[in-house]
């Protein structure tokens, strides 16, 4: 399968569910973008795909309204990226978070290899910390093992004369969950005026970190009760559908056999009727033969008596 086939296949989101689970090999790196609204999730997704596939814009409200999944290639590595609206952002207004969470699970089945937590370089707030806590509360599982932190707007650091290392230390103080993370911080700049070669280097570093995390996790993917329940549901549904298919086939065969039997019986009936008719005709013929003989005898008797 070449890249374009692979991409078009994964663009039809609904009927690709089974296929996606079946083909979810380690060959395809599945990443999920989470983070506060406006942090740069969609822009990061576009950078990873090398194309503007997700809508990214400045807005006071959420630009991305629903989870979306797109495929692409990053330095030859096939990637499947799921962009999310700020589902876990305490200030974001998403019409139905539960529906979005269900969609998120379906799009990322059997689970992402890495969770990219996107933050904007700047003053980290309680909201940023709460977004991650909310994600952990909703999803559970070993979130930290699969977490990679992506800081966008990184040219801000230069303006503030702060090094990446210093900023990571600040971030670790602001967001306690970061303290457990070792070498899992990546800086990106999506400003179109930023040197493309530097953007490429940043993306290469991100891919290196992600692939290291994947290796550290033994190529497993992030999972939790929701993924397991959903996978069990899908498995059950698949078995049910197979059973229904078998039952339909059995019924079809039964109907065909019934029709064959009916045709056979009708054929026999026709044959019987034909035989009966033939017997009647034959008996009529033999009857008239007898009568002819009788008449012949009578004629000869009458003639003999005359002479």
Ligand X SMILES: Nc1nc2c(ncn2[C@@H]2O[C@H](COP(=O)(O)OP(=O)(O)OP(=O)(O)O)[C@@H](O)[C@H]2O)c(=O)[nH]1
Q: How far apart are CA 143 and CA 116, in angstroms?
A: 11
Nearer of residues 87 and 114 to Mg ion, judged by Cβ: 87
Give yes or no for residue 112 binding ligand X (CB under 6 A): no
Nearest CA to 39 out of 160, 165, 132, 170 is that of 132
> Out of 3, 96, 127, 191, which residue is the one contacting ligand X (CB under 6 A)?
191
> Out of 32, 34, 56, 105, which residue is the one contacting ligand X (CB under 6 A)?
56
Nearer of residues 194 and 217 to ligand X, judged by Cβ: 194
Q: Which does 202 bind (CB under 5 to 8 A by kind): Mg ion, ligand X, none?
A: none
The helix-helix angle for 225-306 and 97-108 (nearest 10°) equals 70
The least distance separating ligand X from the CB of residue 159, rounded to whole angstroms, comes to 12
Pairing mode of beta strands 147-152, 68-74: unpaired
Give yes or no for residue 85 binding ligand X (CB under 6 A): yes
Q: Which does 153 bind (CB under 5 to 8 A by kind): Mg ion, ligand X, none?
A: ligand X
Interface of this chain with Mg ion, residues 47 to 66, rule: CB under 5 A: 63-64
Size of the site for ligand X (CB under 6 A): 22
Give yes or no for residue 42 binding Mg ion (CB under 5 A): yes
SS3 string, 175-243, reads: CHHHHHCCCCEEECCCCCCCCHHHHHHHHHHHHHHHHHHHHHCCCCCCCCHHHHHHHHHHHHHHHHHHH
Pairing mode of beta strands 185-187, 147-152: parallel
Q: Give residues with Cβ within 8 angstroms of 30, minimum separation 6.
A: 24, 79, 80, 82, 108, 111, 112, 113, 114, 221
Among the residue ranges 37-45, 155-163, 214-222, 278-286, the one whose residues contact Mg ion (CB under 5 A)? 37-45
Binding mask 5-24 toward ligand X (x if CB under 6 A, else -) reads --------------------
The helix-helix angle for 196-216 and 41-49 (nearest 10°) equals 90
The least distance separating ligand X from the CB of residue 187, rounded to whole angstroms, comes to 9
The least distance separating ligand X from the CB of residue 193, rounded to whole angstroms, comes to 8
The least distance separating ligand X from the CB of residue 165, rounded to whole angstroms, comes to 19
The least distance separating ligand X from the CB of residue 104, rounded to whole angstroms, comes to 13
DSSP secondary structure of 44-66: HHHHHHTS--S-----SS-S--S
Q: Which does 108 bind (CB under 5 to 8 A by kind): Mg ion, ligand X, none?
A: none
Nearer of residues 1 and 60 to ligand X, judged by Cβ: 60
Give yes or no for residue 60 binding ligand X (CB under 6 A): no
- Cβ 80 vs Cβ 190: under 8 Å: no
SS3 at position 25 = coil
Q: How far apart are CA 92 and CA 254, in angstroms?
A: 57
Binding mask 64-83 toward ligand X (x if CB under 6 A, else -) reads x-------------------
Give yes or no for residue 86 binding ligand X (CB under 6 A): yes
Q: How far apart are CA 3 and CA 132, in angstroms?
A: 33
Interface contacts to Mg ion, rule CB under 5 A: 41-42, 63-64
Interface contacts to ligand X, rule CB under 6 A: 35, 37-43, 56-58, 62-64, 85-86, 152-153, 188-191
């Amino acid at each position: 399968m070449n890249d374009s086939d692979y991409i078009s296949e994964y663009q039809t989101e609904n009927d690709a569910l089974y296929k996606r689970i079946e083909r979810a090999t380690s060959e395809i790196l599945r990443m999920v973008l989470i983070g506060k609204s406006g942090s740069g999730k969609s822009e990061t997704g576009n950078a990873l795909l090398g194309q503007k596939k997700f809508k990214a814009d400045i807005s006071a409200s959420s630009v991305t309204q629903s989870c979306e999944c797109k495929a692409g290639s990053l330095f030859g590595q096939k990637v499947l990226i799921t962009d999310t609206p700020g589902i876990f952002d305490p200030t974001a207004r998403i019409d139905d978070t539960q529906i979005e969470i269900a969609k998120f699970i379906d799009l990322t089945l059997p689970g992402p290899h890495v969770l990219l937590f996107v933050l904007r370089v700047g003053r980290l707030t309680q909201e940023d910390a709460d977004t991650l806590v909310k994600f952990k509360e909703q999803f559970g599982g070993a979130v930290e093992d699969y977490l990679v932190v992506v800081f966008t707007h990184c040219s801000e650091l230069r303006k503030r004369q702060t090094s990446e290392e210093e900023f990571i230390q600040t971030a670790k103080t602001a967001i306690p969950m970061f303290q457990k993370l070792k070498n899992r911080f990546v800086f990106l700049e999506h400003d179109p005026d930023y040197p493309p070669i530097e953007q490429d280097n940043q993306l290469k570093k991100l891919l290196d970190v992600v692939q290291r995390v994947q290796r550290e996790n033994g190529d497993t993917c992030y999972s939790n009760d929701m993924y397991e329940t959903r996978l069990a549901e899908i498995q059950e549904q698949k078995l049910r559908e197979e059973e229904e298919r078998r039952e339909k086939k059995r019924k079809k065969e039964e109907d065909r056999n019934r029709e064959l039997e009916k045709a056979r019986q009708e054929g026999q009936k026709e044959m019987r009727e034909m035989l009966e008719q033939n017997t009647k005709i034959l008996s009529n013929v033999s009857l008239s033969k007898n009568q002819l003989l009788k008449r012949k005898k009578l004629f000869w008797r009458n003639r003999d008596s005359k002479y």
